Structure 1
Amino acid sequence: MHLPFPGRRHKKNGDDGGAPETGAPPARARAGGGKPPADPDAVAELLSECELLRSQAARAGVRLDHTPASLEALDQMVPRWRDDPETLPWLGHDAGLYLGTVVVRTVPGAVWQIRSAGEPVVRLASGRAVEVVPAGQEWAANGAPELSQLYAEIAET
């Protein structure tokens, strides 16, 4: 619902306030389909948090430093989370995001992309989209495929 307010809006973050007399959205919003463009660095930072995975790894003495070696260390952790049905899907989600973070930080041309349904995927320079969250969930539930193996396969393409 659009509720017009009298007077001009204050300029904020480069927003010219649109045309309040007509109710038209700012030019930036019109050009982007109604959404301002996402900052790729901010998206990458947000997706790299993986708080639950980091706490589990820290308890196991594993340092998550965004390297392929840290994926190997995660593969060696004892999967105590499998006994907790509430933790398992969240840990798997974090594992997928962490795998994606390592790929984005170490594979040239790899970037995060958020699909229209809000699903984060890693887009490789080749154009291939890698669905890392389902891969992380599979790893958390079954231990296979290993995160380090997935990374190796992704990095090859």
Structure 2
Amino acid sequence: MGGPPRPVGELLEQDPRAAVELFAECELLRAEAAEAGVVLDDSPESLEALDQLLPRWRSDPELLDHLGNDAGFYLGTVVARTVPGAVWRLGGDGTPVVLLPSGRELAVVEDGLSWAESGAPELSQVYGEVSEG
């Protein structure tokens, strides 16, 4: 791609494949998970494993925000890759969301931030609700 990074909303509109790959990176979350022996393989089971992590990041506001964003993007990645018909798109406020086959928009970044801050909702719980239809 080269040059300065484009805002994710612009990237999602102009190059959806690149945006999806960027969302799936989740470097900080993957590092935290690996340190705890959890492999993030984009499966629903990996969301359950994340829910069991000891939340060491909660005492560091900067880390918490970054990890929460990563958790949201990872949740969205798992949903988009495993729930038939689910796709990334821009929400009304310009943030990436996952559009579910039902037409509902899943605000994955909000869910990820909430998970990082308080553990609720659990990522696997959100996935379970959306995968049922």
For normalisation by structure 2, the TM-score amounts to 0.86
Distance 2:18 2:62 in 1: 28
Superposed CA RMSD? 1.5
Question: What's 2:63 paired with?
Answer: 87
Sequence identity percentage: 62
Task: Render the CA deviation track for 1:125-145: whole Å, top value 9, x for unaligned.
Answer: 121111010101010000111
Contact 2:91-2:105 at 8 Å conserved across structures: no
- The structure showing larger relative contact order (alpha-carbon pairs under 8 Å, at least 6 residues apart) is 2
Contact 2:72-2:108 at 8 Å conserved across structures: yes
Q: Give the aligned length.
A: 122
1:123 to 99, 110, 130: 99
Question: Is there any run of 5+ residues in structure 2 with no aligned partner, and where?
Answer: 1-10
Question: Is there any run of 5+ residues in structure 1 with no aligned partner, and where?
Answer: 1-34
2:86 to 110, 135, 154: 110
Which residue identity does 1:55 align to in structure 2? A
Does 2:26 align with 1:50? Answer: yes
Question: What's 2:128 paired with?
Answer: 152
For normalisation by structure 1, the TM-score amounts to 0.73
Structure 1 or 2: larger helix share?
2
Q: CA deviation at 1:116?
A: 6.0
Q: Rg: which structure is higher?
A: 1
Q: CA deviation at 1:117?
A: 4.4
Q: CA deviation at 1:76?
A: 0.6
SS in 2 for 1:121: strand
